[in-house]
Amino acid sequence: MSSTTALPEGACVTARIPEQDAGPTRLGPVVVNPYRLAPLTAIIRDGGQRIGQARVRVLGRGEGGISIHYEVRDRSLWTHGGIPVFGLYPDHRNEVEVAYTLDGERVTERYYIYAPAVRLPVIAAQTGALPEVQPVKVHPSLKQRLYLFNHLLSEIPGNRPFKWNAQGGAAEWDSVGINWVSDTNGDVRWYLDIEQIHDSTRKDGLGASMGFQQTRDGHLVWGQGQRYYKHDLLGRTIWARTLPEKFADFSHEIRETAKGTYLLRVGTSDYLRTDGKRVRTIRDHVIEVDGNGDVVDYWDLSRILDPYRADLLHTLDRGVATLPDGVLKSESLAENERAEDAGLPFGDIPGVGAGRNWAHVNAIDHDPADDSIIVSARHQGVAKIGRDKQVKWLLADPQGWTAALRTKVLTPVNAAGETLHQRHDGSYPEDFDWSWTQHTAWLSGKGTLTVFDNGWGRRFAPTRLEGNYSRAVEYLIDEARGTVQQLWEYGKERGDAWYSPITSVVEYRADSDTQFIYSASVDFLTTARLVTPVLSEVAYGTQEVVQELRVASHQPGNVGYRALVVDLEKAF
């Protein structure tokens, strides 16, 4: 792998792979997968020279292939010791054009870089290494989109799980993360070599890689079990940290705040309940860490919300661990803990009380306007909580809350500000609805909140295998009045064909004025367990789908969690 001699910018030469003795080049050698984590990346070494103002174009493969192009800031050139190359096709001799300035001269060269085939654990054939992405509709203005998909593979043949002795906890919840980038043709242009960081036989290696976000500096953050990470798109480690000792069992969400801190969804490693029991708690804590990884604050949701509200839990799992028959839920947390059946197991099971999966927080956002957090608790609803640990509002059906928390439930209103009164069947006029077992509850930048309403357990109905729907929803919340107005919804009309009972995401994209939606677990409840997620971008405030991709999993148990748009302008 080498370059040709310098050419005028924009020119190229006949494709060939130079022999090893092809002669001197302006730059140094090409190193594929330089940081061992991203096999479809490379660095063209600068050969010890000071180059600048670089531009990269990875040419599309074949007729209709999509070329990836981006500018490279000088600091990236200096950091990597050369030109970073992102977006190579696997098992292909890629043509890569680079332009840069050297000694005052503008140089353009074309390189030929072979990237190896996708290599991931537990695959039977190369065609099944990753789910297949199929374009359905591609808008010309969005053709250059790159999407990062975060899937989880729960069935791990031959796995030897690590076990540890602890009362409760989610530490043994383990999945192989399947994480890759696709262009709008459906071609793989990047993937994470998960075997470099995942190992089910080690405490610090197990878990599910989840919560991928691209930070303001263009890098990726995510977490996995007892660790959380920040890497650039070439796989260079910025930090790889163990959770603070007081906490444990990361999954689902890590989110950067406007202050440069990070919010992580965790449990606790050692928690003293009011009844004297010491347990590991399950998906019910949020911590905030600074750039050094120091904990600057945390939210204990079992003391902020109501860990004994089981109304929705009963619809999701008949085996829910709850208060004994005949025992009425009290307004007092301490009384409820004392009333628990001593035989109720602790651990990662649906149930009430600290030490069980009563909340299942799956998303966090930060509101810089008042320095509050917004929490999506799948088994309860959406809550906004202040720095003082007081609930500002609840976006959830009013059923089952304590008297104090019921006053925080938002009142549904229409566009005229008129109250919408709940009917006997739990529905509301004018198509208003709460979100049910929702995923993601994020601020849109327009003063609104977007939520993916999964719809499992809608209006406390038992699980059913058909006749369901999910929605992407936008709400306008008036905190001063304590009201919520439903501005927009999408997906209801698509019914079972778009229904995702778990996971998924909706996020407003200002660059395209679209709602980006990944309905990530379509067909999850079918016996085949081969999910068929749908990625859609919908024109803001409308029902117009301007871009859509379908994803087909070839492995049972390979379930979509989220997806996001990759912004190369920030990355390099």
Domains and CATH numbers, the chain: 30-115 (2.60.40.3100), 126-571 (2.130.10)
Cβ–Cβ < 8 Å for 317, 456: no
Number of other residues whose CB lies within 10 A of the CB of residue 91: 11
In whole angstroms, give the CA distance from residue 88 to residue 32.
10
- DSSP symbols for 318-384: TT-B-SPTTPPPPS-HHHHHHHS-TTPPPSSSSBSSTTS-SS-EEEEEEETTTTEEEEEETTTEEEE
In whole angstroms, give the CA distance from residue 443 to residue 374.
9
CA nearest neighbour of 125 among 135, 133, 117: 117
In whole angstroms, give the CA distance from residue 206 to residue 172.
8
Position 8 scores a pLDDT of 40
Beta bridge partners of residue 475, listed in sequence order: 449, 486
Q: Which residues contact 451 (CB under 8 A, 6 or more apart)?
A: 376, 382, 395, 435, 438, 440, 441, 472, 473, 474, 475, 506
Position 203 scores a pLDDT of 87
Cβ–Cβ < 8 Å for 257, 331: no
Position 371 scores a pLDDT of 97
| Single-letter amino acid code for the residue at 74 | D
Number of other residues whose CB lies within 10 A of the CB of residue 490: 22
| Single-letter amino acid code for the residue at 286 | V
Q: Which residues are catalytically annotated?
A: 439
Give residue for tokens 């405490």: 203
Position 497 scores a pLDDT of 97
Q: What are the two backbone dihedrals, phi and then psi, of residue 403, each rounded to the nearest 5 degrees?
A: -60, -40
Indicate the SS3 state at residue 339: helix
> Which H or E element spans position 191?
strand 188-191
Residue 364 is encoded by which pair of tokens? 């966090």
Exposure string over 10-49, b if 16+ CB within 10 A, otherwise e:
eeeeeeeeeeeeeeebbbbebbbbbbebbbbbbbbbbeee
The CA–CA distances, whole Å, from 297 to 38, 242, 283, 300 equal 33, 17, 17, 10
Q: Which residues contact 287 (CB under 8 A, 6 or more apart)?
A: 244, 247, 263, 264, 266, 295, 297, 298, 299
Number of other residues whose CB lies within 10 A of the CB of residue 419: 11
Beta bridge partners of residue 298, listed in sequence order: 287
In whole angstroms, give the CA distance from residue 269 to residue 169.
8
pTM more than 0.85: yes
Position 19 scores a pLDDT of 40
Beta bridge partners of residue 97, listed in sequence order: 57, 110
Residue 470 is encoded by which pair of tokens? 């999910």
Cβ–Cβ < 8 Å for 294, 360: no
CA nearest neighbour of 350 among 330, 377, 326, 375: 377
Position 155 scores a pLDDT of 62
HEC profile for 66-100? Answer: CCEEEEECHHHHHHHCEEEEECCCCCEEEEEEEEE
| Single-letter amino acid code for the residue at 533 | P
- pLDDT, block means (10 residues), the chain with 572 residues: 41 36 70 98 97 98 96 98 98 97 95 93 61 97 98 69 60 87 98 93 91 97 97 98 96 96 96 94 97 97 97 88 91 94 86 96 98 98 98 98 98 98 96 98 97 97 93 98 98 98 98 98 88 97 98 90 97 96
- DSSP symbols for 457-503: TGGGPPP-SSS---EEEEEEEETTTTEEEEEEEESGGGGGGG--SS-
Position 157 scores a pLDDT of 53
Strand order in 132-137's β-sheet? 132-137, 545-552, 534-539, 514-519, 505-509
What is the Cα 215 distance to its own chain's centre? 13
Position 124 scores a pLDDT of 47
